[in-house]
Amino acid sequence: MTERQRLFFALWPPAHLRERLTAVQGELGRIGRPVAAERLHLTVAFLGNSDPERATEAAAAATREARGFVLRLDRFGHFVRSGVVWMAPTEYPNALETLHRRLRRELRRRGLRTERRSLHPHVTLFRKATPSGPHPAASLEWPVDELTLVASVTRAEGPEYHRAGAWRLPL
């Protein structure tokens, strides 16, 4: 077993979408601490402290026949307790649910546990946020063609993310 790391599987937005999301953050104003453009993502499965080698094997198995898909981020929300303001798709394709389910199954087969919460896909835009006023209208298209495994290292300034693996999801 390799050294355990704080891991999660995520979708990382392409550059053009990161720019749009940054513009949306600007429109929302100073409602909290904005997530930096290069750290914006959507978590598919959260593992916490786990063995990266087994997580990698699980992802390879889970994505063997997986296809890409298109998400449309068109909804804003606020997790009051965690102070998170996010954007999410109102509806999302079965392919994302299937990917989530397969990942969990393959992880379980290898003795890894994921967070039991059901999938609630969202991109965190702000932390420590107190939203005020109406949200801007937005509908951002996101062609998803890759799943990434990310290791999060805790630093005083906030977590640092390292790309620990990536799997193609052909569109």
The residue among 38, 117, 26, 50 whose CA lies nearest residue 79 is: 117
Report in angstroms how near the CB of residue 136 gets to ligand 2AM at its nearest.
Answer: 20
CB atoms within 10 A of CB 9: 29
Per the listing, tokens 């991109």 go with: 123
Please check whether residue 159 is in contact with residue 153, taking contact to mean a CB–CB distance below 8 angstroms. Answer: yes
63 vs 124, beta carbon nearer ligand 2AM: 124
Report in angstroms how near the CB of residue 47 gets to ligand 2AM at its nearest.
Answer: 9
64 vs 105, beta carbon nearer ligand 2AM: 105
Report in angstroms how near the CB of residue 117 gets to ligand 2AM at its nearest.
Answer: 6
Q: Rule CB under 6 A: which residues touch ligand 2AM?
A: 8, 43, 46, 84, 115, 117, 124, 152
Please check whether residue 139 is in contact with residue 36, taking contact to mean a CB–CB distance below 8 angstroms. Answer: no
Catalytic residue among 16, 78, 100, 122: 122
* 122 catalytically annotated: yes
* 120 catalytically annotated: no
Please check whether residue 124 is in contact with residue 35, taking contact to mean a CB–CB distance below 8 angstroms. Answer: yes
Residues annotated as catalytic are 41, 122
